Chain A
Amino acid sequence: MTNQQIIDWKIASLANNDNSELSEEMQRYLEQNSQLQEELLFIEQFWTSDVKPLVMPSDKLDANFYQMLSRAKTAQQHIPEQYDAQQETTQPLNDYRASSKVPSLSLMDKVKSWLTPMPIAQFATLTLVFVLGYNINKAPNSEINSEAYSVLQQDISSLTTVLAMSMLQKDSASERLSGVAYSRQTNLSNPVLVEQLIELLARDKSTSVRLAIINSLGELESFGLFEQQLLTMATMEENLLVQIELCRLLLNYGSVEIKNLLTEQSSQQQLKPEVQEFIKAQSMASYI
């Protein structure tokens, strides 16, 4: 009998709410050991007192979680499961993999896992992609190959979209910048991604990320519903550099109505003097 055994019993009985009593042997041992008695009393006090009641998280946590889940489900609907899982586990959180604790598999388990349907399907998909790629290069004008090529392009675009959306949520500004770069590769064809970019533009702390987003929004064919939102941002923005770039974006790619509204606001001196000067210069340049 050791102190350790009795302490283990005490913690287990408290942690699991186990009401089993001390054995006679343990009791005798305990009676002779006053220091251990004190230790057990302390453990019991600590375990049973309401040291720190549970604190409830705010509703924001729920909102963020369900937003993330909804995005994941949207992405899942667009992309086959195998691509989805593969993409999420390799690219966006690649650095985490090294630090995450993944249960290690034995050699036999690994060999067995190669024979399961998933790796076979992955291998078949890779082979298919290779064969399609080879044939497309061989006969680029073939109608069938063009269709296959466009399907492949769509798949790649969907994967890049998911990757970009994931990177845009990262804590690090450099990773969010990569997210913006990936967004550009998709030609901003996904409205959910555009919405996420504009949302990030409104609240991101990094000026570089915001400027990169403004730059990439120039790729859009039309701002559509986001145009008014961009105008509001351009008017309210406090960062001079971002404000000027937003104005440049709207003046270069916005609709005629938005350009007029912006010029009007400038002439009514509702904007900072530097921005007014910039808009004036842009307007003059457009006449030339």
Chain B
Amino acid sequence: MFDEKELMFQVKAGQLDKLATLFENNKVQLFNYFLRRGNSRALSEDLVQETFMRILAYRINFTGSSTFKSWMYGIARNTVAEHYRKNKNQALNCDMEDEELTNAQTLGEEFETKQQNDIFNQSLASISPEDREIILLSRFQQLNYQEISALLDCNLNTLKSRMRNAISKLQLSYQQLVGDNS
């Protein structure tokens, strides 16, 4: 396993080829991060491209004080925020909200799992973007608390408290949806 921080330092030193390794290692996760935030496929791909363009442009700002992943997601968050700031009129293409719950009757375990996953996705879509982001970063992007707190610029205890609140809201929404669906 290669050290991403070391690779980023090599990019910073002018070995631009090394960026390709970082791209290959992170593109799928990053693409899914944008998708899970409710962006369309095409826009998510554009945002991944823009994020890596900024990584290249701002390579001299990488100090290694946090992990490469944490730094990269910081740029990714700014990229998407700036995109929506510039395109205020553009509605968020919420793929998550497009997923309708099926009302069909339970036919087997596979269907039950799918339905449960659908409800999880609906619950995720129903909580606030701030709460959703903390859960996404931890659950799907697999960042640890230290990385997320560096990324969101808050202290560790605040982050833990915010995470618990977010999960409580998610659970509440899940229970409501299960109730509605049964």
Contact = CB atoms under 8 A, between A and B. Distances in A.
Interface of A: 3-4, 7-8, 11-12, 15-16, 39, 42-43, 45-47, 49-52, 54-58, 60-62, 64-66, 68-69, 72-73, 76, 81, 85, 88-89, 92-93, 96, 99-103, 166, 169, 171-172
B27 A61 contact: yes
8 contacts: A3-B164, A4-B160, A7-B167, A11-B138, A52-B117, A57-B27, A65-B52, A68-B49
B94 to A, nearest CB: 14
Nearest to A46: B120
Contacts of A50: 113, 117
Nearest to A50: B117
B61 A55 contact: no
A6 B81 CA distance: 34
Nearest to B63: A103
Contact of A15 (B53, B61, B139): B139
A55 B31 contact: yes
B59 A61 contact: no
Contacts of B171: 39, 42
B58 A100 contact: yes
Contacts of B61: 89, 100, 102-103
B65 A93 contact: no
Contacts of A171: 83, 86-87
Given A61-B48, A69-B19, A4 B161 contact: yes
B153 interface: yes
Contacts of A62: 27
Contact of B167 (A12, A43, A89): A43
Contacts of B87: 171
Given A55-B31, A65-B27, A102-B61, 15 more contacts: A4-B164, A11-B167, A47-B139, A51-B124, A55-B32, A57-B45, A61-B49, A65-B49, A69-B56, A73-B17, A88-B56, A93-B58, A99-B78, A100-B75, A103-B65
A186 B156 CA distance: 51
Nearest to A109: B63
A15 B117 contact: no
A99 B120 contact: no
A1 to B, nearest CB: 15
A84 B164 CA distance: 45
A81 B28 contact: no
Given A7-B164, A47-B139, A64 B49 contact: yes
Interface string B139-161: 11010110000000100000011
B8 interface: no
Q: When A and B form their complex, which 8 residue pairs have the shortest distance between CB atoms, in order from nearest?
A: A57-B31, A88-B57, A61-B45, A51-B120, A42-B171, A85-B60, A101-B74, A64-B49
Contacts of B20: 65-66, 69
Given A42-B171, A51-B121, A8 B23 contact: no
Contacts of B32: 52, 54-55
Interface in B8-24: 14, 16-17, 19-20, 23
A81 B120 contact: no
A72 B167 contact: no
Interface string B61-78: 101011000000011001
A152 to B, nearest CB: 23
B28 A56 contact: yes
Contacts of B120: 46, 49, 51
B28 A54 contact: yes
Contacts of B49: 61, 64-65, 68
A11 B162 CA distance: 13
B39 to A, nearest CB: 12
Contacts of B167: 7, 11, 39, 42-43, 46
A15 B144 contact: yes
B170 interface: yes
B35 interface: yes
Contact of A76 (B14, B29, B31, B83): B14
Given A51-B120, A52-B121, A69-B16, A46 B58 contact: no
A72 B16 CA distance: 8
